[in-house]
Amino acid sequence: MSTRNTTSYREKGRAVFLAAIMVISVVAMSAAFAGAATATDDDLDSGSTYWQGQELHLNLTGADDPDNEYQVRSYDSSDDDVGGLQDEFSTDEDDNYTYETDGLDAGDYVVTNAGDNSVVEFDNGVVHDPDANASDAYFEITTQDLDVEFDDDEVNDGDSSTTDLDIDSNRGSYSVIVGADGDLDDEELFNIFVNNDSVGSDTLDDIDNADHADDLYDEIRDESVSNASTINDDHEPTDSGYEHYGFGAFNASLYDDSEDDYEELIVLSDISDREEEVNFQDIDADEYDFDFEIVDTTAEDSATINVVEEDVDGSFDQSVYTQTAGDVVEFTVELEDTDEAWIQIGDEDAGFVDIVHVEDDDDNDEATFQVNTRTLGTNTSDIDRVYHSEDDEIQSEFFEDDTGAVFWDEEVDNYDGPGDIDEYADYLEELDLINDADDHHTESGEDYQLTRPLQATDYDVAANGNAHFIVDDDGESELDDELDLATLDLTTPGVDSISTWVAPGDDADEDDELDEVLDIVTERTDVAEEDRLVIKAEATGLYGAMVDHDDNDWDALDDGFQASTLDELTNNDGEGINFEVEADDATGNQDATQLDLDGADDEDIFILADQDAGEFVVIVDTSSSDAFDSSIEDGMDFTAELEYETDSDDRYEFADLQEPFDGGANGDAAYPYFNADSTQSVSTEFTIVEPEATFENLDEDDNVQLETSDEFEVTGETNIAPGSDASVRITNAGDTPSFLHTLDDTEIDSDGSFATEAVDLSDRDEGDEGEVDFRVGGSTVDDVDALFVDELETDDEPEETDDTEEETDDTEEETDDSDDEPVETDDSDDEPVETDDSDDEPVDSDDSVPGFGVAVALVALLAAAMLALRRQH
């Protein structure tokens, strides 16, 4: 709050009124008392509370001071003590006095007779008791607080011209004089505080010729207009009996033109605390200091705001928005010096146009909205099936919303008037997008822009700084204030691949982010019961349809889709999208077991999608009896298939009324974005298997050998999904087994091998018996007997035998090669006697053949004999 040395608005007003009262008293003295009473804010009444600065009327007839002199003294109610002198005054010859309380601090006071200090008690401004007890006669003065603040330091003089003004006081109701040091006249001040949003239509209708809040000022100043009045300095209607003198959310009033400074001030009449919108549209750019003064007290405050010139600008956050036809695309337009823009999607060359109005509703200087390209341009009455914004506002001409768009032929003639092209449908007709505006988008009409959903091609997306759209002399669309131009590049959708993966057992919807799921899956075609089956499909061009079918609407793109969404889409006969997961167990009278997309809850089957990456996953809890329409068994083979089906002869077309999903190829399935006879399909197979685990280091009796060392790891293989909550438990054998160790940190690798953390078994003895359990999620998958050993068995002997066999095999291979030699060579081989004779010569085994010399020689002799025998045959 502030204090000024210059003459205040309230002082100027009071001076004018008191001067008028003096003139009246000279002309008609009989009216002096009534005039004096009227000039004050209240009559003094003992026991009452008044605000510092109020003017109080007193009539002291009956107080009987010979000099008509009185005093105002402080009073301490706690001690019933009349204190020091605060002020002195003398009444007029009629014993009247107007006492101004602005010199008193907050506290309790009494009026006393200056001659004998007797305390005077008042009742409604007149003496009730000239010699009263102070406790009955005192009155209270309290200080009114006033705090005024604009929400924004800066606004512009155009579309971003509004801000909130917060007025707060400790008083219940009060009137406030408002000025801006003469920098704004009363009309500008009035229009800042009064606008169409704050003036009811009933009020405007009740005032002659006032169709808009901007008309109010002139109507109020026009004395011939009934029901609209200025106010006088008493803050009462100048024209008594007129109903309307305070307008808008702040109850703004105009001073009568007979009052001083009426051209620089307005009054917010009899208001309470409030925070409402003020509007600086069309106010000159400058910094303005607003002064707010309570009419009848000393409370005052000031607030400053800077008005800058409007420089509307805007741009898209991308120059090209690339998305697959049939999916959802998101646009963001960044705004400067405005909170709104009009955006035209498409043009006459693309064969489609809609105009949307977007407004920044969260004050972040941008507007973001999504468009479902599958439903855009179709005959639906629900805008939420086509457009969506999480934080901002969006309206569409296609849906006959009040976007404010105005249409012109060749040029804008009047920015404040209606266009010379009546409405959106006429605009389309002028662009040759439809034949007859009267038949467009009507229940019985058949004149639509599209034959089938918006196809893969480029579409202009243009942002307009105002609401005016023009058809030029070439019949092409033009924006009056184009801010930016972007391209929507819709690409051709397709089906690329499908594969199966596994994830640790849990509810299907346990993970609600696709990235989280892809981080824990392992690609496999064998899926252990109790694990989660994850079917991953790489495909585009179906996410817009899924959004439209899902109960969660647009949120499903981020939060996940219900299984029934895919079921409904598959069962739409005309759409041509088929997804099926079916077993090969069909018999003559029994259907094959299928994934139950229709009947499953989210915890049984759940779908997550990433349309930007062009993929979705169907997550199945294989432990749920509701995931499949029949029970599943070990070894059951399934095929998962995704297909975009087309008709062999015809393309997709909308049915007569162009409802979003009412169409096909003459009643047959036909994917909307493919030509005839161009079906795409992918499939994969997988098998449901029983959970299993096997241990390594088995002895000949299939006991697991546990080495009595201080760091031993139990290892093996399992078909359970990697990442599962696996553990290995080691127990003693016997009638009363006891736990030795539970190894919770058991990791399953992607190849199915597992290993526990190292465990200390050095306290066990060779030959002790036990049991080893492999557990997942607290349940045993497999258990085997165990035997504690000092050292694991190693089978070295078989390895040497294997080497020998390999050498023998090599020898035989060489022998086989010699069979291919000519006959002459075979004849020379018929001389075995010489070879045998040479072998019969004495040999010094110790000197000439160390190590295994004898064994090697015997093997050589045996080989030669066998060769000779073979050749003889």
List pLDDT tens digits, range 610-637. 999 999 999 999 999 999 999 999 999 9
558: tokens are 């981020």
Task: Give CA–CA dist 135/77, Å, rounded.
Answer: 7
DSSP character string of 442-495: -SS--B-S-SSSPPSSEEEEEEESSSEEEE-TTS-EEETTEEEEEEEEEEP--E
What residues contact 303, with CB distance under 8 A and at least 6 apart?
148, 149, 150, 165, 289, 290, 292
Residue 30, in any domain of the structure: no
Does 178 lie in the same domain as 121? no
Residue 782, in any domain of the structure: yes
Does 460 lie in the same domain as 544? no
Query: Which of 70-79, 223-232, 691-700 is least confident?
Result: 223-232
Query: Which of 10-14, 45-49, 401-405, 568-572 is least confident?
Result: 10-14
Neighbours of 625 (CB within 10 A): 11
Q: Flag whether pLDDT at 213 surpasses 80.
A: no
Helix, strand, coil fractions of the chain, as percent rounded to 5: 20, 35, 45
Report the candidate in 429, 400, 418, 401 with the shortest Cα–Cα distance to residue 468. Answer: 418
Residues 216-259 have pLDDT tens digits of: 788 788 765 666 778 888 778 877 656 677 888 999 999 998 88
Q: Flag whether pLDDT at 371 surpasses 50.
A: yes
Does 551 lie in the same domain as 424? no
Does 267 lie in the same domain as 298? yes
What pLDDT shows up at residue 445? 55
Does 280 lie in the same domain as 155? yes
Does 711 lie in the same domain as 608? no
Region 343-365 average pLDDT: 97
Residue 3, in any domain of the structure: no
Residue 816: strand, helix, or coil: helix
Residue 2, in any domain of the structure: no
- Write out the H or E segment, with its range, that includes residue 12: helix 9-27
Read off the pLDDT band of 846 (50, 70, 90): very low
Task: Give CA–CA dist 192/283, Å, rounded.
Answer: 9
What residues contact 84, with CB distance under 8 A and at least 6 apart?
73, 74
Domain end residue (candidates: 645, 660, 688)? 688
Neighbours of 325 (CB within 10 A): 22
What residues contact 129, with CB distance under 8 A and at least 6 apart?
120, 121, 136, 137
Whether residue 595 contacts residue 581, with contact meaning beta carbons closer than 8 Å, is answered with yes
Q: Decide: residue 22, CB within 10 A, 0-12 exposed, 13-18 middle, 19+ buried.
A: exposed
Q: Flag whether pLDDT at 799 surpasses 60.
A: no
Q: Flag whether pLDDT at 373 surpasses 90.
A: yes
What residues contact 356, with CB distance under 8 A and at least 6 apart?
342, 343, 345, 369, 387, 394, 395, 396, 397, 403
Residues 175-209 have pLDDT tens digits of: 999 999 999 999 999 999 987 665 655 565 556 55
Query: Which of 210-214, 301-305, 678-682 is least confident?
Result: 210-214
SS3 for 214-241 is: HHHHHHHHCCCCCCECCECCCCCECCCC
Domain end residue (candidates: 739, 761, 789)? 789
Does 460 lie in the same domain as 536? no
What pLDDT shows up at residue 202? 54
What pLDDT shows up at residue 221? 82
Residue 32, in any domain of the structure: no
Q: Flag whether the pTM goes above 0.85.
A: no
- Per-residue exposure over 692-719, b if at least 16 CB sit within 10 Å of its own CB, e if not: ebebebbeeeebbbbbbbeebbbebbbb
Q: Flag whether pLDDT at 158 surpasses 80.
A: no
Residues 260-315 have pLDDT tens digits of: 889 999 999 999 999 999 999 889 999 999 999 999 999 999 999 999 998 889 99
Domain end residue (candidates: 654, 688, 722)? 688
**Strand blocks (E) in 666-756:** 680-689, 693-695, 704-707, 715-718, 726-732, 739-748, 753-755
Does 684 lie in the same domain as 703? no
What is the residue range of 842's domain? 802-872
Does 203 lie in the same domain as 62? no
Q: CATH number for the domain including 103?
A: 2.60.40
Which residue type, as a one-letter code, is found at position 788?
F
What is the count of structural domains for the chain?
6
The residue behind tokens 């705001």 is: 305
What residues contact 450, with CB distance under 8 A and at least 6 apart?
351, 352, 377, 378, 654, 658
Region 353-370 average pLDDT: 96
Task: Give CA–CA dist 855/872, Å, rounded.
Answer: 26
Residue 575, in any domain of the structure: yes
Does 565 lie in the same domain as 628? yes
Chain mean pLDDT for the chain:
86
Does 707 lie in the same domain as 671? no
Counting every residue written for the chain, the total comes to 873
Does 863 lie in the same domain as 747? no
Report the candidate in 650, 588, 649, 600 with the shortest Cα–Cα distance to residue 624. Answer: 600
